[in-house]
Structure 1
Amino acid sequence: MAEFWRLGGWVLGAWLLVAPSAWAQTSVAELTELRAERREAALYLTAQIKLELGLAVEDALVKGLAVHFVSEAEVMRDRWYWYDRKIGTATRFYRLAFQPLTRRWRLNVSNEPMSGGGLAGSISQSFETLPEALDVIRRQSGWKVAEMADLDLEARQYIAYRFRLDTSQLPRPFQIAAGNQAEWTLMVARQLRLTPDMVR
């Protein structure tokens, strides 16, 4: 019985953090730029995202909940006879949290998933304001996605890019409460066809 009330308290707390309101600002994620360029022996990606967090997400952050974002890029080669072949991949993980004692925002960036206390391999930065922290996530540049030696000058190739808010990193009760809330559904995806100029 005690376990039931404890779970009920978690669910209620999660609901209070993500409950929509009539005047809530909607979260926005739009890709405004996506380009690739060759630098020496590798292909690099640059992405620019219009990213705005809804009031429910901001409120959850202020109340101590860390929010995770994931950017993924896959370099693919067309194959008419089978699934397209993956020839390069890169992923960036972002963990955004508010530090109530210092009143600062902390952003961790890593090429490996960050869960629990696993932040050792990440780069950490602190910011005075939330927009400053979000600007780092919005501008993704100098991102190595493939070696030029793996690209075929004669083949049709493209980059499949995705950016999303990763609700799977939220505590389980918050995942349930956030599952149907539009403010927590942030995702953008686009394909960029590689031209000969990009791979020569």
Structure 2
Amino acid sequence: MGFITHCWKSAKVEPRRWGGWVLGAWLLLASAAWAQNSVAELTELRPERRDAALYLTAQLKLELAPAVEDALIKGLAVHFVAEAEVMRDRWYWSDRKVGTASRYYRLAFQPLTRRWRLNVSNEPISSAGLAGSISQSFENLPDALAVIRRQSGWRIAEMTDVTPDTRQYINYRFWLDMSQLPRPFQIAAGNQTEWSLNVARQIRLTADMVR
């Protein structure tokens, strides 16, 4: 009888344990399902010659994860970088870089005015160096992101360095620059996929593009 009673008591405890494990697993799966990642997709990459230079137009599909938007609203500035390199094929050595250009974006929310501020520069942007950038204010986040999504009139190389009788290509990349975040936040967000935003593409230059 003592043995049967002992087993019965154990049997009554086990369902409660299993219930806790099931609930914990459900919450873990639910939180993973609710999590949304940032999205960056390149929908257009078009080089064209204008006068004595090669220009680039890039169009992005860019959506920020709720976690990134929440960090922005709480006062964290987020930085993005767009980079284009014009490369020339060399069979005897590594390919030669004949042109390069970068655009730096700093996006921040201003609680006092309830407006969004976007700084754009050809040089890296720091909190102390905002004066060297072009600043724009927007009433909402989609309007600010629209400027980042559309990168036009971007001078990436001089035509004297780009010739139609050689094989050349453009390397394009756009990413969220985690190195500009405060160090504690870098550590906390480093392994979170919501903050992983990076897109890259390579496009060949044809003779018609550079003639």
TM-score (norm 1): 0.89
Instruction: Tell which has more relative contact order, 1 or 2 (C-alpha 8 A, sep 6+).
Output: 1
Corresponding residue to 1:169 among 180, 189, 200: 180
Query: Pick from 41, 48, 55: which aligns with 1:44?
Result: 55
Q: Which amino acid is the alignment partner of residue 185 of structure 2?
A: F
For residues 37 and 63 of structure 1, the distance between their equivalents in structure 2, rounded to whole angstroms, comes to 41
What value does the CA root-mean-square deviation take over the aligned residues?
1.0
Alignment of 1:11-50 (within 5 A): 22-50=33-61
List runs of 5+ in structure 2 lacking aligned partners: 1-30
- Cα deviation, 1:12-71, whole Å, max 9, x if unaligned, reads xxxxxxxx7641322100000001000011000000000000000000000000000000
Match of 2:199 in 1: 188
Distance 1:133 1:126 in 2: 8
Residue equivalent to 2:170: 159
Alignment check: 8 A CA contact 2:164 2:206 kept: no
- Structure 1 portions without partners, runs of 5+: 1-19
Helix, strand or coil at the partner of 2:69: helix
Q: Does 1:87 align with 2:98?
A: yes
Contact preservation (8 Å) 2:54, 2:159: yes
| Amino acid in structure 2 at the alignment position of 1:145 | I
Cα distance in 2 for partners of 1:192, 1:121 equals 31
Rounded to whole Å, the distance in 1 between the matches of 2:72 and 2:32 is: 17
Matches within 5 A, 1:26-175: 26-175=37-186
Q: Counterpart amino acid of 2:92?
A: Y
Provide the C-alpha distance between the structure 2 equivalents of 1:23 and 1:102, rounded to a whole number of angstroms.
31
Structure 2 length normalisation: TM-score?
0.84
Separation in 1, partners of 2:198, 2:37: 13
Cα offset, 1:91, TM superposition: 0.2
Deviations 1:146-199 (A, max 9, x none): 000111221000010000000000000000011101111100000110000000
Moved over 2 A (4+): none
The CA distance in 2 between the partners of 1:43 and 1:151, in whole Å, is 8
Aligned residues: 181
CA deviation after TM superposition for structure 1 residue 93, in Å:
0.1
Structure-2 separation of matches of 1:39 and 1:105: 33
Amino acid at match of 1:143: W
Distance 1:69 1:37 in 2: 24
Amino acid at match of 1:41: A
What are the Cα deviations for residues 59-93 of structure 1, in whole angstroms up to 9, with x where unaligned?
Answer: 00000000000000000000111110000000000
Q: Secondary structure at the match of 1:119?
A: helix
Q: Which has the higher Rg, Structure 1 or Structure 2?
A: 2
